[in-house]
Structure 1
Amino acid sequence: MVMKSPRRSPVMAPSCLVAGTLLLFHFIFSHADSGQFHVIGPQAPVIALVGEEAVLPCHLSLLMDAQDMEVNWYRDRPFGLVHQYVNLQDHMEQQMPEYQGRTEFLKDNITTGHVALRIHHIRPSDEGEYSCSFENAIYFHQANFQVLVTGSGTAPHIHIDHGETKGLNLTCTSMGWYPEPEVQWRDLQGERLAPAPETKTSRRNGMFHVETSIMLDKSSKENVACYIRNPVLGVEREVHISVTDALFPGVSPWPVIAPVIVVLLVIIGIVCVLLMRASKSKDKFSLIPSHQIDVHIPPALQKSRNSLVLKNLQRCPAISLQERLSGQLMMQHGELQETYVSFHSEEIKEQNETLIKENEEIKEQKEKLIKENEELKEQKEKLIKENEERMEKNEKLIKENEEIKEQKDENYYGQVFELALDNEQNDEDGQH
């Protein structure tokens, strides 16, 4: 025989919710009336960076004024007092030496039961279990939480050591890590490479110094990377290096490039020497050196001299060939002198003309400047005259104003005197 379970009525679920809510409120109010409370700290571990500051919050489950309570922060392993707040002020007599001068009690919201502790200059030794406690005259409660200290070190650096073998020894170093980081070597495809067994991690002032090496040969990939990862933050630092045949001494391109550069330098030097010699030979065989030309001979006399030389040559056929050649050379020399003198005289004329034009332009500019100065002087004189006239007008106006004031004063005093006389007469008439 199968027994059927009785069906729950639809009104039963809401009635259970209402009853649970009432019980919860009753529990809260009963604890509030009795002065009991719960301390709530950070639910997740507090991440603190080395060298920075960390805030450890803590509050009461009820909205209560905690100014008159005693608030303490302790740490475990080693156990000791981190900070103490009693009687509306901080007490540091029993504080652990390593926290002295580094803690700050934040009590801006203490009237609602919310406080916090700030620790400055976080060290690796600050990592561990902490507790926050509130205590009044009738009740005490605390909350436990964890502080994780972490720090990402410097960018890794790879040192290359060729050594005596055919391979390369790559050493990756970095410092300032906490906690102990994860180190990996990867190739271009991101696949992990097996490092040498001499991977080292050593503590320096609480921080980790990383040094790991790997040996490569010519059959390895072109690009290799060293990765160092912070396990707490997930921060990863990396450095890449290209391992090519140029890194190996046996296949260095310099033995091929160096002789080519030397040959090119030698060829360039020979060409420069030949060019210098050619320019010197041209200077030696020039027909008319500038210091031997007599530019003072007039052209008319030079023509007459050339004609006489020709006549003498024609009249004397018995003259030797050498004498005839010397006569022709003298004629050519005279003609070249004429051309040189005429050419340079034309250049001198052109230079003189340009200088004359420039002088005329300078004179015109000078005259313009003189005229402008005269105009400015005239304008200045006009302005001075206008100012003097304005001053005279102002003085006249001032005098007129003074006269008007004097007349007004005289009229005023006269009217006052007349009124006084009228008043006296009226008083006398009234007495009579």
Structure 2
Amino acid sequence: MTLKHDSNYDFLFFSVSETFTVSVKSPVSVQRGHTAILPCWLTSSQSAEDMEVHWYQRSDEYDTPVLLYKARAFDYSSQKPSYAGRASFGLKEETSGGLKAGDVSLKLEKATIEDAGKYTCVVSSSDDSDSASVMMKDDNKVNLSCQSDGWHPKPELSWSDSKTALIPANVMFSKNSAGFYSVHSWVLVSSPSEVSCSVGLFNEEPKETRMRLENSLEEAFIDLALSNKMRLFSVAHFQC
């Protein structure tokens, strides 16, 4: 601020800078193959159309960005190849107003396990610059199946993880010619997690088996023999 004086008036001259703060919402979870929105916006809600927006995943990949916007256009010349055709601007919410309202959220299509990690959003103008980071998590869903045979009378089946009971998608029973029951159930869970299936008779200690699901899990079929009964766990990626 400067002050100028003459015989009649004192003049105050202000030099106003265009300052802003970048905000994000983190973490963000996404299933593989689906589209992720990483919310990032200017808290002042001012337009970002004339600003530079730089999204990158790791600190050593600043020069090979996920998405670079400058001079009112996308610059793909240095984009990391694995994001080609998958990265663009998205909306943090349907009514956000997009770039005109300072919404510079990243839209990432066909998410892969390699996409998981920290993303940094850098917004720059001629007067100011600010950044913030979003953590994207791989919310991998798997379909876990449990089957047990050779029971009489009809058994009870339950699912649980390390924290709470799980509600199965279904529990089905069948009875063979000898009068013994089989039970089959499946549940949709996220990995990594540790899940158990318990089968038993009322007022008796149930038989239980556990499986720890890792992020790298692809597909597994595991047979577990318990006494004269057999349980089959089958795990496969769930696709919507």
Q: Which residue pairs with 1:217 in the alignment?
A: 227
Which structure 2 residues correspond to residues 29-428 of structure 1 after superposition, within 5 A?
A: 33-42=16-25, 44-76=26-58, 79=61, 80-106=64-90, 108-156=97-145, 179-188=191-200, 191=206, 193-194=208-209, 207-218=217-228, 226=233
Residue 105 of structure 1 and its aligned partner are, at CA, apart by 1.9
Q: Distance in 2 between matches of 1:86 and 1:181?
A: 42
Residues 225, 33 of structure 1: CA spacing in aligned structure 2 closer, same or farther, 3 A cutoff?
A: farther
Residue 106 of structure 1 and its aligned partner are, at CA, apart by 3.6
Greater strand content: 2
Alpha-carbon displacement from aligned partner over 1:63-105 (angstroms, at most 9, x marks no partner) = 3121110011111277341101000100111111111111122
Identity %: 21
Q: Distance in 2 between matches of 1:77 and 1:34?
A: 28
SS in 1 for 2:104: strand
Greater helix content: 1
Residue 212 of structure 1 and its aligned partner are, at CA, apart by 3.2
Q: Distance in 2 between matches of 1:191 and 1:88?
A: 64
SS in 1 for 2:135: strand
SS in 2 for 1:214: strand
TM-score of the pair, normalised by structure 1: 0.35
Alpha-carbon displacement from aligned partner over 1:317-345 (angstroms, at most 9, x marks no partner) = xxxxxxxxxxxxxxxxxxxxxxxxxxxxx
1:200–1:210 contact (8 Å) kept in structure 2: no
Q: Distance in 1 between matches of 2:193 and 2:119?
A: 24
Residues 207, 70 of structure 1: CA spacing in aligned structure 2 closer, same or farther, 3 A cutoff?
A: farther
Larger RCO, structure (CA 8 Å, separation 6 or more): 2
Q: Distance in 2 between matches of 1:130 and 1:121?
A: 16
Q: Distance in 2 between matches of 1:104 and 1:227?
A: 37
Give the number of the structure whose alpha-carbon radius of gyration is greater: 1
The runs of 4+ residues in structure 1 deviating greater than 6 Å are 199-203
Residue 138 of structure 1 and its aligned partner are, at CA, apart by 2.1
TM-score of the pair, normalised by structure 2: 0.60
1:84–1:92 contact (8 Å) kept in structure 2: yes
2:120–2:134 contact (8 Å) kept in structure 1: yes
Aligned residues: 177
Q: Distance in 2 between matches of 1:137 and 1:46?
A: 30
Alpha-carbon displacement from aligned partner over 1:380-431 (angstroms, at most 9, x marks no partner) = xxxxxxxxxxxxxxxxxxxxxxxxxxxxxxxxxxxxxxxxxxxxxxxxxxxx
SS in 2 for 1:85: strand
Q: Distance in 2 between matches of 1:130 and 1:45?
A: 10
2:199–2:207 contact (8 Å) kept in structure 1: yes
